[in-house]
Amino acid sequence: MSNLNFYRVIYLAITAAALSTLVACTSTLSEVDENGLTQAPVFPAMESAARPDGSYVNMENLAKVSTGMSKAQIRELIGPPHFAEGMFRVREWDYILKFREPNKTCQYKVLFDRNMVARSFYFSPGNCLKPALS
């Protein structure tokens, strides 16, 4: 009977560790509220990205990204996020976007509300698109 109790304790410890990992995976860098907004967007270090080289963005597709879109719709337009954003109920996606004209790299952030609908968008630097669109 003591072996059975030992395995139950091990099982419970593994379950608790897995649950705490899932909770950590749902956190946000930017303190996103239930409406998908933040007072201070935080951009992760580019070298920590799953795709640190980023991707060249299709400007037409980027221009179509807007409030009210689902994650699937955004993924279709600009691809999956470039950072290890987490697994469940993630409300913050980050990208490293490259522009050919001018030769520039920027970070892009999409924030989702509690229903996983895109609500706000940020660039770093904040004026990233101005030279690219002129």
pLDDT digits (tens, 9 = 90+) for 34-92: 999 999 999 999 999 988 899 998 999 999 999 999 999 999 999 999 998 766 678 99
Lowest mean pLDDT among 13-17, 59-63, 96-100: 13-17
Q: Is the pLDDT of residue 16 over 60?
A: no
Long-range contacts of 77-81 (CB under 8 A, 24+ apart): 78/108, 79/55, 81/110
For the chain, the domains span 2-133
Place of tokens 């991707």: 55
Regarding the domain delimited by 2-133, which CATH topology (the fold level of the hierarchy) does it fall under? Answer: Beta-lactamase Inhibitory Protein; Chain:B, domain 1 (3.30.1450)
**106: its two tokens:** 């920027």
Place of tokens 């649950």: 19
Look up residue 67 and give its DSSP letter.
T
**Predicted structure pTM score:** 0.75
Could you tell me if 44 and 29 are in contact, meaning their C-beta atoms sit under 8 angstroms apart? Answer: yes
